[in-house]
Amino acid sequence: MTIPLPAFPASARDWLAHLVAFDTTSRNSNLALVESIERWLETLGVRSTRIPAAGGGKANLLFSIGPDVPGGVVLSGHTDVVPVDGQTWRSDPWTLTERDGRLHGRGAADMKGFIAAGLSRVPAMLGARLTRPVHFALSYDEEVGLLGAPALIEALMANVPRPRLVVVGEPTGMQVVDRHKGIMGLRTTVLGHEAHSSQTHLGVSATMVAAQLMARIVAIAERLATAPATCTGFEPAHATVTIGLVEGGTAPNILARRCTFVWDIRAGTPDEARRVFDEVDVLAQRLGADIHARFEDCGIATEVLSDVPPLTGALDAPAQALIARLAGSDTRQAASYVAEAGLFERAGLPTVICGPGWIAQAHQPDEYIAIDQLAAAEAFMDRLVEALCE
């Protein structure tokens, strides 16, 4: 797919239209989008580093503007978007469309708007007398487990002088978010032993065993919802456990050979998440041993799909105050969703979330970013350039 580059110089709106035109749903490659930015950077004489995924079908992109010194600011954004499958859109989700002061398109809010605002200011950054650099860190597969960010962060820490601060541009209405919950994403697979459903003594139904585990998860979720708050400032103010996907069985009259369910734990601390996991795992170990004793081909296994730490906001308050000043935000907020911010903070980098649009507009049919929100992001970038010239 070849999509023409925006005219030079390009506004944030031009860039947003360009980025939205790429269907970078996480199941697809993002390489065409990455290549378009690389070609544009080449015309400006800017070197970039591609960090490919295993298999080469996707890639992170890292590039820097300004002097090769410590103390820079990282602008972090993910290039992938969620599917539009089954959603009813009033306009083509891959064509940026204006209606009533809003720019509609998949990824407009989450989070190509932030990336567009940053890219639109690259020429200004090149023309300014920056005393500290700006590092662009663009990732893949954030939406399906934050899979690209670890390699991107590793490359960042190995190849650029230590930054002072990271800004993750998830949609916050340009308010500063300095805390988010962590997430442990899990896939549990139960292997049973097939038999006719009238002959239950001759087999083990994987779906029946999985139902026992899922019942325990539901009970834990209900208990957490009524227990004293453990996540002050978050909404909801407690850890959550949910089951998102269940697959299993062959036919109504066959004891199921396999049942798989995907679930997640979102908590304010890794220890709390681990306690929830351990409670489920104790039951899984007991049930697994029982069915394996009956049939050697039976068992239960749980795979950790993602384990992202929470963002605590505990590092370098003066650096975070700088972003609050540039954003014009006097308050600090907490987000119940999970972002790549926790991974950057785990690497020792002070990190905040601040970007245009609102999370309520993300993942929806007719996803949009308000034009004034995109303008606010452009103004933020302009103030950032000024601050890095001081």
Contacts of 80 (CB under 8 A, 6+ apart): 24, 25, 26, 30, 140, 141, 142, 143, 144
Does residue 155 have a pLDDT over 80? yes
Note the pLDDT tens digit of each residue in 87-144.
Answer: 999 999 999 999 999 999 999 999 999 999 999 999 999 999 999 999 999 999 999 9
Average pLDDT (72-89) is 97
| Per-residue buried b or exposed e for 327-346, using 16+ beta carbons within 10 Å of the residue's own CB | bebeebbbbbebbbbbbbbb
Are 353 and 180 in contact by the 8 Å Cβ rule? The answer is: yes
Structure confidence at residue 8 (pLDDT): 60
Average pLDDT (243-247) is 97
Structure confidence at residue 262 (pLDDT): 98
Structure confidence at residue 329 (pLDDT): 77
- Find the range with the poorest average confidence among 58-72, 170-184, 327-341, 364-378: 327-341
Note the Cα 56 to chain centre separation in Å.
20
Does residue 316 have a pLDDT over 80? no
Listed residue (266, 81, 73, 109) closest to 180, CA to CA: 266
Does residue 381 have a pLDDT over 70? yes
Structure confidence at residue 233 (pLDDT): 87
Structure confidence at residue 390 (pLDDT): 80
The pTM for the full model equals 0.90
Structure confidence at residue 2 (pLDDT): 66
Instruction: Give the angle subtended at the CA of 324 by the CAs of 238 and 369, to the nearest 5°.
Output: 75
**Which string of DSSP letters, residue by residue, matches 319-336?**
HHHHHHHHHT---EEEES
First and final CA of the chain: distance in angstroms?
Answer: 42
Does residue 360 have a pLDDT over 80? yes
pLDDT band for position 7 (cuts 50, 70, 90) = low
Does residue 364 have a pLDDT over 60? yes
Q: What are 22's two structure tokens?
A: 């790429």
Domains of the chain, each with CATH number or no CATH: 12-180+310-389 (3.40.630.10), 182-308 (3.30.70.360)
Structure confidence at residue 322 (pLDDT): 87
Note the pLDDT tens digit of each residue in 19-32.
Answer: 999 999 999 999 99
The helix or strand, by DSSP H or E, that contains position 136, with its residue range, turns out to be strand 134-139
Average per-residue pLDDT for the chain: 95
Note the Cα 267 to chain centre separation in Å.
16
